[in-house]
Amino acid sequence: MEILSLLAGGFAVAATPTNLMYCFIGSLIGTAIGVLPGLGPPATIALLLPVTYGIPATSAVILLAGIFYGAMYGGSTTSILLNIPGEAASVVTCLDGYQMARQGRAGAALAISAIGSFLAGTVSVIGLMLLAPPLASFALRFGAPENFALLVLGLMMVGYLGGASMTKGLMMALLGLLLGMVGLDPIMGSPRFTYGVWKLSEGFEFVLVAMGLFGIGEVLVNVERTLAPEVLKTKISGLLASREEWRAAGLPLARGSLLGFFVGVLPGGGAIISSFVSYALEKKLSRHPERFGKGAVEGVAGPEAANNAAATSSFIPLLTLGIPGNASIALIFAALLIHGIRPGPLLVAERPEVFWGLIASMYIGNVMLLVLNLPLIGLWVKLLEVPYLVLAPFIVVFVLVGAYSINNSVFDVGTTVVFGALGYVLRKFDFEPAPLVLAMILGPQLEGALRRSLLYARGDLTVFFQRPIAATLVALALLMLLSPLVRWALARKFREIVGPVSPAPD
Amino acid sequence: MRRLRFLAAVVIAALAAAPVAAQEFPTKPVELVLPFGPGGSHDLTARAVASVAHQYLGQPLLVVLKPGGGGAVGSQHVIRAKPDGYTLLFGGTGPNTVFALVQKAPIGVEHFTPVARINHSPAVFAVRHEAPWKTLREAIEYAKKNPGKFSFANTGPWGAADYPMRLIARAAGIDYTNVPHDGGGPALLAVLGGHADATFGFAPQLLPQIMASKMRALAVSGGKRFGTLRNVPTVKEEGFDVNFTMWRAVLAPKGTPPAIVEKLEAAFRKMSEDKSFQALIKQLGDEVDFQGAKDFEATWRQEWDVAAKVVAGTPK
């Protein structure tokens, strides 16, 4: 009951007219930058940081946090409408979200992602409120070997994103791992594949690669196809999702929320991993896995719920340990510092009004985002009624300006164009770029975790089997790897006993 | 040869233009290029400077982020800019000494005209609260007796934790397990979770851990004791001849006219004395420690020479 009175105190802080206004402004800006490609939440929060010097600490955090989780809502919009992932966590949303849009179900996809985000965000805030301290100590037990095992498990699931052909998916993942090698070696700091170009020494920036491969690549393919008129006739049937679609989305939403919440606590790429693990999980559980990649509702609902839940739970390491888990949270940490608050193990006890005010504002913010985003759906869907030949140049400009805005760099624009060309080629040969992008992000993390584990263990490979969490994750990965083999062996055994099975009558 | 001639031409042209330009300078906003992404201590310090700049400079100071290439991209942008005082770099130890030497990037001490150092932060050597060592000396003795057993989590190869630890290891002659992490947060988590024995961090991140008795600070890497950690000795007091701080300084392209450098130096000095600026820096957990162009150049050259030896791996 104590928690309820604390939460009530939080609401008293968050529900003052000024704080409500900051919460609304944060959510609004967040949605806007989520929709615009390029400028991401960290850059926006940095821009607005000086503005928060003059306002009370709690208001500042409410505003900045609103931008962060608001962007998670907005990020899926361009994925669904234009096949441009706004941030890493919405790459997976492109797979089925964009296909739904092409089948005239853009409204449904947007509605499911908005309401899914709302539900997942709310579940995650409740979890944050009830479970933060124990989860934080769990996260501390994640050393390098545990991270490595989790990443192995995650990368194995990347193959599921490859559409019809797993082989092609794995080929793309391999290419992604290679591209991820570009830059400074994570352990020694020696340059690899940079060819003396300083710009490359931090590797390829994810947003540029994704906007090129997905955004520009898609435009090139479509412009070519538009010559044959009937292909892009998008008929919009029904603005919101149908009853069947909601039924299909329900369980994936629940599973995605839980998955995102737990994986998001881990520092690093929690939101990204949770989004595609959720996708792989839904595909595996589905009775019709062949629909995935062709506009399956579950393929939007699960990952969207997961990445929003993860965004919220990534506040846990900051609020309980004082350690920011990603770039945006690091800036919120800085904002707190400037206001004389040191986030850390003592925050909840010393400054309860900040902690509970933030939590309450997250409840409020999620409602605001829902109210803000649902009416926008109609507007977004209208956008698709614009003839593609008119829309296409705008998309290209939009993407290139976005690319420039990240670092004010022409080199970045060039990178986007080159990856755009690659995206076009890949699409021509029916390769799905999602595994490439995800492997590119996870590759360096995987390498770092492996080499770190071996450094700590002084070269002892058994470290992955001696630690309970790592061993469990490795066992799961092995099980996944071997499951086709086991199934095949069982089937053979079965035939031996029963005798040849006659083919089912047609 | 061609470069020299080019440089000479630039210097002559700049000198010729100087008297007129310096009197009026600045007539338009001055750009302070940051070779990093948003949110780090460098960014926050630069924004604190910019927030008070207008009244002392007569023009706004615009913070421009040009991240990438370990700081090489932003640094080179300024090196190539017109040396007219309107494009300045907010440089630091990371890119302009250590990265410049390790990656042989042409962004080091020879490539800039220093204007002013705003401040510098020492790194704090910290262990988990449960660790047996009460002093840095004890920890290093343990490492000496058990070669390779003492594990150190750094924040990235040659970063702000790795470099001072290399200095100590070199001074003490120890063999330790050096594990790079992806930034300060993960390195701190590795120590908190008991996966690593120690790390170097900055005061703002470590203070909450120290106050909550999760971590213990054993030493600070600077030449003197630091801010809120007055009871923590310096590495030197502990018997290791090491002095390391991460500085943040305004650097101009080579060939900037001396009159303009002087004018900028004076303006930055006044900014560093501004009350509201000092309050902001204090909130960030740092101290303002201004150094003018001449003094800072000497400091930087000294640091550069030590770092060059460490990077080359030559014994002390």
- The DSSP code for A196 is T
Residue B6 binned pLDDT confidence (cut-offs 50, 70, 90): low
CB contact under 8 A, A337 and B283: yes
How far is residue A213's CA from residue A225's CA, in Å, rounded to a whole number?
A: 18
Check whether B26 has a pLDDT greater than 70.
yes
| Total domain count, chain B | 2
Q: Poorest-confidence range of A36-50, A391-405, B229-243, B249-263?
A: A36-50
- B212 contacts chain A (CB < 8 A): yes
Q: What is the pLDDT of residues A405-432, one digit of tens each?
A: 877 788 999 999 999 999 999 988 988 8
Whether B7 maps to a domain, the answer reads no
Contact B50, B94 (CB under 8 A): no
Task: Average the pLDDT over B183-188 and give the result.
Answer: 84
Residue A322 is nearest to which of B64, B209, B280, comparing CB atoms? B209
Task: State the CATH number of the domain containing residue B165.
Answer: 3.40.190.10
Q: What is the pLDDT of residues B260-273, one digit of tens each?
A: 999 999 999 999 99
Contact A444, A148 (CB under 8 A): no
| pLDDT above 70: percentage of residues in chain A | 94
CB contact under 8 A, B157 and A345: no
Nearest-by-CA chain B residue for A449:
B181
CA distances to A58, A218, A377 from A252, rounded to whole Å, are 34, 28, 22
pLDDT, residue A75, reads 81
The mean predicted confidence, pLDDT, of chain A is 84
Q: Edge to edge, what strands does the sheet with B177-180 contain?
A: B177-180, B151-154, B198-201, B124-128, B215-220
Pair (B109, B131) in one structural domain: no
How many other C-beta atoms lie within 10 A of the C-beta of residue A190? 11
| Cα separation of the two ends of chain B | 35
pLDDT, residue B259, reads 94
How far is residue A373's CA from residue A367's CA, in Å, rounded to a whole number?
A: 10
pLDDT, residue B293, reads 94
Task: Average the pLDDT over A176-190 and give the result.
Answer: 86
Residue whose C-alpha is closest to residue B95's, from B42, B153, B31, B166:
B42
How far is residue A486's CA from residue A488's CA, in Å, rounded to a whole number?
A: 5
Pair (B250, B116) in one structural domain: yes
Tokens encoding A442: 């996870």
Pair (B168, B208) in one structural domain: yes
Separation of CA A472 from chain center: 24
* Residue in A200, A323, A415, A441 to test binding to B, most B beta-carbons within 10 Å: A323
pLDDT, residue A161, reads 77
The mean predicted confidence, pLDDT, of chain B is 87
Pair (B24, B110) in one structural domain: yes
Residue A456 is nearest to which of B64, B151, B208, comparing CB atoms? B151
How far is residue A437's CA from residue A206's CA, in Å, rounded to a whole number?
A: 7
Pair (B18, B113) in one structural domain: yes
Check whether A76 has a pLDDT greater than 90.
no
CA distances to A179, A209, A442 from A205, rounded to whole Å, are 11, 7, 13
pLDDT, residue B312, reads 86
Check whether A35 has a pLDDT greater than 90.
no
Whether B107 maps to a domain, the answer reads yes
Whether B146 maps to a domain, the answer reads yes
Q: Which of A73-87, A104-118, A194-208, B110-124 has the highest mean pLDDT?
A: B110-124
Pair (B178, B213) in one structural domain: yes
Q: The whole model's pTM is what?
A: 0.82
Check whether A471 has a pLDDT greater than 80.
yes
Task: Average the pLDDT over A448-470 and give the result.
Answer: 90
CB contact under 8 A, B189 and A321: yes
Q: What is the pLDDT of residues A123-163, one digit of tens each?
A: 999 998 888 888 888 888 888 899 899 888 888 887 777 66
Whether B5 maps to a domain, the answer reads no
* Residue in B47, B277, B282 to test binding to A, most A beta-carbons within 10 Å: B47
Check whether A237 has a pLDDT greater than 70.
no
pLDDT, residue B1, reads 45
pLDDT, residue A229, reads 44
Q: What is the pLDDT of residues A288-303, one digit of tens each?
A: 888 888 888 999 999 9
CB contact under 8 A, B190 and A445: no
CB contact under 8 A, A45 and B188: no
Residue A196 binned pLDDT confidence (cut-offs 50, 70, 90): confident
Task: State the CATH number of the domain containing residue B20.
Answer: 3.40.190.150
Residue B296 binned pLDDT confidence (cut-offs 50, 70, 90): very high
Check whether A375 has a pLDDT greater than 70.
yes
Q: Which of B195, B229, B263 is at the close of a domain?
A: B229
Q: Which residue has the higher pLDDT, B115 or A33?
A: B115
pLDDT, residue A269, reads 61
Tokens encoding A117: 């985000």
Q: Which of B200, B229, B258 is at the close of a domain?
A: B229
Task: Average the pLDDT over B242-247 and give the result.
Answer: 92
Whether B1 maps to a domain, the answer reads no
pLDDT, residue A301, reads 92
CB contact under 8 A, B72 and A344: no
Check whether A179 has a pLDDT greater than 90.
yes
CB contact under 8 A, A452 and B208: no
Residue whose C-alpha is closest to residue A455's, from B217, B216, B162:
B162
pLDDT, residue A432, reads 86
Name chain B contacts of A184, Cβ cutoff 8 Å: 70, 157
pLDDT, residue A251, reads 92
Whether B216 maps to a domain, the answer reads yes
Beta strands in A428-485 (DSSP E): none
Check whether B16 has a pLDDT greater than 70.
no
Q: What is the CA radius of gyration of chain B?
A: 20
Residue whose C-alpha is closest to residue A206's, from A88, A111, A101, A36:
A88
- B156 contacts chain A (CB < 8 A): yes
pLDDT, residue A326, reads 77
- B147 contacts chain A (CB < 8 A): no
3-state secondary structure of A184: strand
Q: Which residue has the higher pLDDT, B100 or A72?
A: B100
Task: Average the pLDDT over B74-94 and give the result.
Answer: 92
How far is residue A41's CA from residue A79's CA, in Å, rounded to a whole number?
A: 16
Whether B141 maps to a domain, the answer reads yes
Pair (B102, B19) in one structural domain: yes
Pair (B255, B206) in one structural domain: no
Pair (B306, B280) in one structural domain: yes
Contact B100, B88 (CB under 8 A): no
pLDDT, residue A383, reads 80
Q: Which residue has the higher pLDDT, B201 or A201?
A: B201
Q: Which residue has the higher pLDDT, A273 or A500?
A: A273
Q: What is the CA radius of gyration of chain A?
A: 23
Name chain A contacts of B163, Cβ cutoff 8 Å: none
How far is residue A257's CA from residue A209's CA, in Å, rounded to a whole number?
A: 28
How far is residue A70's CA from residue A35's CA, in Å, rounded to a whole number?
A: 10
Name chain B contacts of A345, Cβ cutoff 8 Å: 208-209, 212, 214
Check whether A238 has a pLDDT greater than 80.
no
How many other C-beta atoms lie within 10 A of the C-beta of residue A164? 13
Pair (B25, B101) in one structural domain: yes
| pLDDT above 90: percentage of residues in chain A | 20
Q: Residue holding tokens 């296409």?
A: A392
CB contact under 8 A, B68 and A202: yes
Tokens encoding B156: 């990235």
Name chain A contacts of B69, Cβ cutoff 8 Å: 198-202
CB contact under 8 A, B208 and A340: no
Name chain A contacts of B178, Cβ cutoff 8 Å: 455
Using H for helix, E for strand and C for coil, what is the string for chain B? CHHHHHHHHHHHHHHHHHHHHHHHCCCCCEEEEECCCCCCHHHHHHHHHHHHHHHHHCCCEEEEECCCHHHHHHHHHHHHCCCCCCEEEEEEHHHHHHHHHHCCCCCCHHHEEEEEEEEEEECEEEEECCCCCCCHHHHHHHHHHCCCCCEEEECCCCCCCHHHHHHHHHHHCCCCEEEECCCHHHHHHHHHCCCCCEEEECHHHHHHHHHCCCEEEEEECCCCCCHHHCCCCECCCCCCCCCCEEEEEEEEECCCCHHHHHHHHHHHHHHHHCHHHHHHHHHCCCCEEEEEHHHHHHHHHHHHHHHHHHHHCCCC
Q: What is the pLDDT of residues B33-45, one digit of tens each?
A: 988 876 677 888 8
CB contact under 8 A, B39 and A327: yes
Check whether A200 has a pLDDT greater than 70.
yes
AA identity, residue B163: Y
Pair (B91, B54) in one structural domain: yes
Q: Which residue has the higher pLDDT, B154 or A242?
A: B154
Q: Residue holding tokens 């961090």?
A: B201
Q: Which of A25-34, A66-75, A154-163, B253-262 has the highest mean pLDDT?
A: B253-262
Strands B215-220 and B124-128, sheet pairing: antiparallel
Task: Average the pLDDT over A111-128 and give the result.
Answer: 90
Domain that holds residue B24: 14-121+246-312
Pair (B252, B107) in one structural domain: yes
CB contact under 8 A, A455 and B156: no
Residue A323 is nearest to which of B182, B188, B195, comparing CB atoms? B188
Name chain A contacts of B214, Cβ cutoff 8 Å: 345
Distance from CA of A76 to the nearest CA of B (A): 24
Whether B130 maps to a domain, the answer reads yes
How many other C-beta atoms lie within 10 A of the C-beta of residue B290? 18
Name chain B contacts of A331, Cβ cutoff 8 Å: 38-39
